[in-house]
């Protein structure tokens, strides 16, 4: 028996990871696709007049087995992959793409959908109307109106894109894993003890006892470039990181980047759009590339002079401190950290003892209790895909089951860099039953050592709260249809629930729930919190300009025809020249490892981080006015979270806030106005 094809007989019907083997995936997806095709055929062959229930709702419910298997597979390919899984993905992904295209390009199916769409819809409720609109748009946006020749072209483009995206991600992961900086004790100047202990333990694991190994994984890379006194080693580390998948070897992503961008352009033109950004933004709050570019330019005009002033001060600081006459990118984190220490008497080493990972997790849970009345209870009877994963049952204010929550916090070879939230089962209602979601967050935090627990930097605390915010969006989902549930919202709205959670981390009232010294249990001092808040806008002009630059790079690849792009490095340098305030490193390239836009779902959407910051800054001002745990405001925000994609995001936001967001809220918080 293939466990992926049977109903899960586990607690809460969670994924039976202990029973699933790699060889189960391909046979399972083939059988699931077969069943999905049969379900679609039943809709198409129905002789009854097309209606919402027998067409739109039936289609929404079709292919549930496909989704169930795909969610497990792709989550493992991100969080616990290996060579065998990556090889399977090269067959698995095209099968899924072909299945999706077979549905979207089915003329008879689309004829039924169009018939329902063109009927008077007064008898449908708001959520049903949204599902109908979304379904109709999905088909028209995916080629339903194309002729047969163009449909075939679209299939070929989609199949090739699926394979290229996988290869892009595999190359970045391999390049990240392959780099090791092996050091002797005398090379460790400036590095905090817990970082060097972790490096020593890694060296021991790899058979190099007595040495210290640093990697390109964030918990190793970021502290190294921030604290290492050895300038030549910081340079080596930064250049290695920047050149991932940009070197002259078989893992170079330059041709993949150009090919992906070109295929996206061809697909957009095939579907009647000017470019990929034009196509993508039709389904976003920003609506058009012009609006995105205008938004980014408005931010740039404010951030650029601030960034230039900040970097000018940093250059002077480095010159006075160490006689550095040519401040480089590998100096920025190091000297900005030292400058922040002098200005605010605060740094990660002062803060980390108050942020033991287990306490921060508990703090996030306590915030959820205070805001939304939900609680988290650790369970040891839910199967895991790796021993590091911790599993919880989430309960509502009445103590009833609300969701399952997986937490996976430490880096390892089979996990890609970064942090993300995902799901193994979306919330939906079937035959009156509210099937609750199974939500997961995956991060890469500093591992505990033999002598110390996992102590988080403040940036890692923000990351945990950020991903937890995404999780709450999924956990509190309360719709009827999976495709409108939880985080299934416009891409430039999806970051609001995550980014707003970061704001609580600067408030003493929140920090007192969990920020205790790991050795003596003392609460984080009020004056330390004040210094933390004052330091929050340090180098904010530079940070904002950097995000604007990345968003402009994304739009450069996707808001114009990339056919004329020659060398990726030259093209990127031209695009980013305006937003660079430090000397360019010719051996580095962002595009070749820009997984957000070439592997993830952020193509023509990287701007959404800053867009959502406008929303979250404005929304948190409302919380601050009424109290950060005010029940009335929290109740309104809970309603926004629970609604998912059942209504237009601006409508949900206006209902919560009483007005549209004030775009100056972001600049006020950043100290830029």
DSSP state for residue 53 in the 8-state scheme: I
Q: 200 pLDDT band (50/70/90 cuts)?
A: very high
CA distances from 165 to 171, 271, 415, 418 (A): 10, 21, 17, 17
Q: 350 pLDDT band (50/70/90 cuts)?
A: very high
Q: 663 pLDDT band (50/70/90 cuts)?
A: confident
Q: 451 pLDDT band (50/70/90 cuts)?
A: confident
The span from the CA of 181 to the CA of 174, in Å, is: 16
Angle at 92 between CA 86 and CA 94, to 5 degrees: 115
- Spot the catalytic one: 39, 393, 467, 502: 467
- Calculate mean pLDDT across residues 436-457: 94
Closest of 163, 69, 154 to residue 104, by C-alpha: 154
- Give me the percent of the chain exceeding a pLDDT of 70: 100
- 11-145 against 353-536: fold identical: no
What mean pLDDT is reported for the chain? Answer: 96
Enumerate the domain spans of the chain: 11-145, 179-242, 353-536
Q: Is the pLDDT of residue 501 over 80?
A: yes
Q: Is the pLDDT of residue 121 over 80?
A: no
CATH, domain 11-145, list 3.30.342.10, 1.20.1050.40, 3.40.50.880, 3.40.50.1580: 1.20.1050.40
The span from the CA of 412 to the CA of 213, in Å, is: 14
Helix (H) or strand (E) holding 408: strand 401-408
The span from the CA of 402 to the CA of 396, in Å, is: 6
342 is catalytic: no
Q: Is the pLDDT of residue 120 over 80?
A: no
CA distances from 261 to 226, 254, 290, 403, 599 (A): 34, 11, 19, 38, 12
Residue 415 confidence (pLDDT): 94
| Confidence (pTM) | 0.89
For residue 429, the cross-strand partners are 434
Phi, psi of 446 (to 5 degrees): -60, 130
Tens of pLDDT, residues 394-446: 999 999 999 999 999 999 999 988 999 999 999 999 999 999 999 999 999 98
- Calculate mean pLDDT across residues 386-397: 97
| Strand 420-425 versus strand 375-378 pairing type | unpaired
Write out the CATH class of domain 353-536. mainly alpha
Tens of pLDDT, residues 58-91: 999 999 999 999 999 999 999 999 999 999 999 9
Tens of pLDDT, residues 574-609: 999 999 999 999 999 999 999 999 998 899 999 999
Mention every residue, 6+ apart, whose C-beta is less than 8 A from residue 53.
none
Residue 86 confidence (pLDDT): 96
Tens of pLDDT, residues 529-570: 999 999 999 999 999 999 999 999 999 999 999 999 999 999
Q: Taking the alpha carbons of 648, 653, 659, 664 in that order, is the dihedral positive or negative?
A: negative
614 and 665 Cβ atoms separated by less than 8 Å? yes
549 and 576 Cβ atoms separated by less than 8 Å? yes
Residue 449 confidence (pLDDT): 87
- Calculate mean pLDDT across residues 29-40: 98
Residue 435 confidence (pLDDT): 98
243-252 core/surface letters (b: 16 or more CB in 10 A; e: else): bbbbeeeebb
List strand residue ranges (DSSP E) for 330-389, in order: 375-378
Residue 446 confidence (pLDDT): 86
80 and 71 Cβ atoms separated by less than 8 Å? no
């Amino acid at each position: 028996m293939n466990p992926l094809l049977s109903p899960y007989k586990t607690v809460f019907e969670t994924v039976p990871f202990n029973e699933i083997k790699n060889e189960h995936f391909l046979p399972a997806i083939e059988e699931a696709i077969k069943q999905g095709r049969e379900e679609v055929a039943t809709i198409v062959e129905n002789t009854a007049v097309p209606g919402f229930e027998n067409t739109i709702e039936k289609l929404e419910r079709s292919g549930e087995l496909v989704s169930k298997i795909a969610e497990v597979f792709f989550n493992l390919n991100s969080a616990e992959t290996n060579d065998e899984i990556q090889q399977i993905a090269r067959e698995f992904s095209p099968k899924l793409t072909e299945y999706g295209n077979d549905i979207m390009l089915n003329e008879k199916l689309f004829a039924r959908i169009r018939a329902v769409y063109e009927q008077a819809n007064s008898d449908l409720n708001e959520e049903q109307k949204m599902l109908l609109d979304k379904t109709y748009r999905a088909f028209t946006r995916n080629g339903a109106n194309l002729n047969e020749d163009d449909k075939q072209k679209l299939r070929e483009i989609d199949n090739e894109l699926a394979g290229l995206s996988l290869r892009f991600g595999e190359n970045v992961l391999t390049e990240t894993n392959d780099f090791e900086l092996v050091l002797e004790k005398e090379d460790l100047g400036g590095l905090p003890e817990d970082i060097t202990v972790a490096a020593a333990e890694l060296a021991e694991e790899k058979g190099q006892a007595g040495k210290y190994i640093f990697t390109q994984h964030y918990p190793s890379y970021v502290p190294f470039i921030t604290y290492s006194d050895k300038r030549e080693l910081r340079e080596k580390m930064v250049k290695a990181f920047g050149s991932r998948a940009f070197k002259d070897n078989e893992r170079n992503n330059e041709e993949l980047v150009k090919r992906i961008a070109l295929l996206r352009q061809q697909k957009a033109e095939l579907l009647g759009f000017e470019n990929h950004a034009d196509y993508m933004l039709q389904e976003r709050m920003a609506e058009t590339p012009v609006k995105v570019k205008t938004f980014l330019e408005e931010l740039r005009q404010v951030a650029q002079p601030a960034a230039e002033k900040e970097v000018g001060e940093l250059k002077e600081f480095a010159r006075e401190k160490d006689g550095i006459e040519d401040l480089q990118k590998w100096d920025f984190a190091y000297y900005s950290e030292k400058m922040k220490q002098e200005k605010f008497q605060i740094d990660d080493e002062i803060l980390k003892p108050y942020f033991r990972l287990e306490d921060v997790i508990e703090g996030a849970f306590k915030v959820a209790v205070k805001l939304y009345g939900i609680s988290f209870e650790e369970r040891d009877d839910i199967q895991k895909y790796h021993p590091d994963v911790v599993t919880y049952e989430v309960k509502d204010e009445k103590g009833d089951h609300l969701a399952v929550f997986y937490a996976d916090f430490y880096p390892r070879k089979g996990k890609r860099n970064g942090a993300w939230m995902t799901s193994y089962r979306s919330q939906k209602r079937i035959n009156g039953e509210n099937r609750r979601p199974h939500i997961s967050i995956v991060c890469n935090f500093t591992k505990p050592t033999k002598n110390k627990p996992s102590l988080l930097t403040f940036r890692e605390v923000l990351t945990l709260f950020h991903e937890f915010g995404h999780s709450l969006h999924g956990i509190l989902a309360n719709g009827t249809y999976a495709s409108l549930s939880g985080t299934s919202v416009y891409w430039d709205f999806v970051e609001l629930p995550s980014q707003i959670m970061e704001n609580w981390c600067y408030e003493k009232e929140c920090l007192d729930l969990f920020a205790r010294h790991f050795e003596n249990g003392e609460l984080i001092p009020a004056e330390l919190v004040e210094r933390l808040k004052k330091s929050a806008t340090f180098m904010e002009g530079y940070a904002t300009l950097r995000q604007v630059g990345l968003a402009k790079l994304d739009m450069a690849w996707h808001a114009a025809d990339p056919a004329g792009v020659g060398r990726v490095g030259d093209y990127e340098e031209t695009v980013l020249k305006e937003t660079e305030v430090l000397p360019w490193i010719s051996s580095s390239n962002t595009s070749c490892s820009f997984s957000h836009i070439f592997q993830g779902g952020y193509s023509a959407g990287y701007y959404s981080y800053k867009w959502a910051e406008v929303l979250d800054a404005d929304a948190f001002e409302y919380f601050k006015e009424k109290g950060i745990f005010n029940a009335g405001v929290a109740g309104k925000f809970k309603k926004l979270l629970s609604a998912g994609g059942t209504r237009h995001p601006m409508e949900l936001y206006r209902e919560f806030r009483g007005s549209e967001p004030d775009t100056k809220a972001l600049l006020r918080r950043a100290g830029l106005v």
